Chain A
Amino acid sequence: MIRIISILTGLFFAAALLWSLLWDTIQLGKDGLPHTVEKAFVKHDLKKLDLASDGVFGKFDEAQLQRGFAVYQNVCASCHSLKHVSYRSLAALGYNEAEVKAIAAKATINAADPLTGEFKDRPGQPSDKFPPVVYAGAGHPPDLSLITKARHGGAAYVYSLLTGYANQAGYKNHEGKELLKEFPDAKTPDGLHFNPYFANLNIAMAPPLTAEGQVTYSDGTPATVDQMAKDVAAFLVWTAEPELEQRHQTGFVWMGFMLFATVLGYMSYRNIWADKKGH
């Protein structure tokens, strides 16, 4: 009995699926495979970015993080917040206590007075987090604290996006198809900017890094657009994963120990079974 019910149930599901399959096939025959401007023209092959923090032994390059922080402060910070990062953690970039204090003091923090509970503006302290950024323009600049973890491709995406702005007129994809000829309706609207790395090709952010020397690097590294984009991408890896170095180091020691313990465990297992497996 149960088998008859089961076979009937199975055939019911199969029939319902075949029905869906039939209609979907007819539909597919009419429409063909989905062909959208995003599918054809969004670039998923990101530009290659090598950072010191990559790989199993990856560590942060403090000088690069400081340069990236300078780019963030001078360029990004006017629109993008960094609200999960606290000033005290900048010590990880190689700043000493006095420097951290000075950086924090430049910020204005609206916080409750601990004695009165009243909200007041005061200079920032190392224990504060980066304050929210008031942005009045078009679009919604995302908070950057976690951006390299919140986007496919991470730092390479940030780097590609920052350096990937292109002129839409005459833009061709890797197959040599011209965007505006294939999709004449997909012209970038006014106020948006064409960027083939952005999910829908049109981004509200104007190209932020435009001229060499836009940011002055204190370590004398030439501030080319490419260099600034790399540095800020490296910095944003740190803001998203400040634990990265500790994680790699702990992991390396732990894996070494586990390998040793596992080999010992295997030898012990062979011992215990020595008389049982003798064929």
Chain B
Amino acid sequence: MAQDASIDTPAVTDGEGVRRRDFINIAAVSAAGAGAVAIVYPLISQMAPSADVLAESSTEVDIAAVQPGQAIKAVFRKQPVFIRNLTPAEIEAANKVDVSTLRDPQTLKERTKEGHENLLITMGVCTHLGCVPQGAGVGEVKGEFGGYFCPCHGSHYDTAARIRKGPAPKNLHVPEYEIAGTVVKIG
């Protein structure tokens, strides 16, 4: 548009004048463009999570009551988190697996915090298509590998919540968290 404007602008015989006029027209159109871009920014950013949603982006959970062999569910960013206190047998079962045979190779150690190898904290969201796997609640099916089982499309996770069978591509995601005493701060 800027170029057209300068072409249609009546030619002035003085070459200096033409150049100055072109410059002003181009500058005006550029300023209009810059203004439009500035306006578009808030129009796009309004769709990002709002302040009240972001405020719920971390969760604190007291895990004092979770005994070995037990698991609890918590809510983190509107999605379930599984916090599991592994028994020595479950830890052993997880460590026995040859990591190189796994679809998403990770050791239990890599999936837990130093000094808290028994505390497995993962998102309760199947990495296949986002269903909530079973196995954290009392009496729920734990799948063929004693961890979690997603009934939607049949993904089986082991005691370290690693994918072992079924369509899911990845192990259950381990969120960012910190442990302070008996309180876990997720996020």
Residues of A bordering B, CB below 8 Å: 86, 88-89, 114-115, 126-127, 254, 257-258, 260-261, 264-265, 267-268, 271-272, 274-275
A126: chain B residues at CB < 8 Å are 55
**What range describes how many residues of B lie at the interface?**
20 to 34
Q: Is B93 an interface residue (CB 8 A)?
A: no
- Residue pair A261, B55 in contact (C-beta under 8 Å): no
CA distance A261 to B30 in the complex (A): 9
- Residue pair A271, B75 in contact (C-beta under 8 Å): no
Having A88-B51, A267-B24, one finds 8 other A-B pairs with CB under 8 Å, namely A126-B55, A127-B52, A127-B56, A257-B31, A261-B35, A271-B25, A272-B9, A274-B9
Residues of B bordering A, CB below 8 Å: 5, 8-10, 12, 21, 24-25, 27-29, 31-32, 34-35, 38, 51-52, 55-56, 73-75
Dominant SS at the B interface? helix
**17 residue pairs bridging A and B, Cβ less than 8 Å apart:** A115-B73, A126-B55, A127-B55, A254-B38, A257-B31, A257-B34, A261-B31, A261-B34, A261-B35, A264-B27, A264-B28, A268-B25, A271-B9, A271-B25, A272-B5, A274-B10, A274-B12
CB distance from A17 to the nearest CB of B (A): 47
B35: chain A residues at CB < 8 Å are 257-258, 261
B56: chain A residues at CB < 8 Å are 127
B74: chain A residues at CB < 8 Å are 115
- Residue pair A86, B52 in contact (C-beta under 8 Å): yes
CB distance from B138 to the nearest CB of A (A): 13
CA distance A214 to B52 in the complex (A): 34
Identify which of B10, B27, B32 contacts A275 (C-beta below 8 A): B10
CB distance from B37 to the nearest CB of A (A): 11
Q: A261-B32, A265-B31 are in contact. Are A86 and B55 (CB under 8 A)?
A: yes
CB distance from A188 to the nearest CB of B (A): 43
The chain B residue sitting closest to A242, CB to CB, is B51
CB distance from B98 to the nearest CB of A (A): 36
A86: chain B residues at CB < 8 Å are 52, 55
CA distance A254 to B73 in the complex (A): 48
B8: chain A residues at CB < 8 Å are 272
A260: chain B residues at CB < 8 Å are 31
CB distance from B45 to the nearest CB of A (A): 13
CA distance A264 to B35 in the complex (A): 13
CA distance A265 to B12 in the complex (A): 20
- Residue pair B24, A264 in contact (C-beta under 8 Å): yes
B75: chain A residues at CB < 8 Å are 114-115
5 nearest A-B residue pairs (beta carbon): A268-B28, A261-B31, A127-B55, A275-B10, A114-B75
A115: chain B residues at CB < 8 Å are 73-75
- Residue pair B55, A257 in contact (C-beta under 8 Å): no
CA distance A114 to B77 in the complex (A): 11
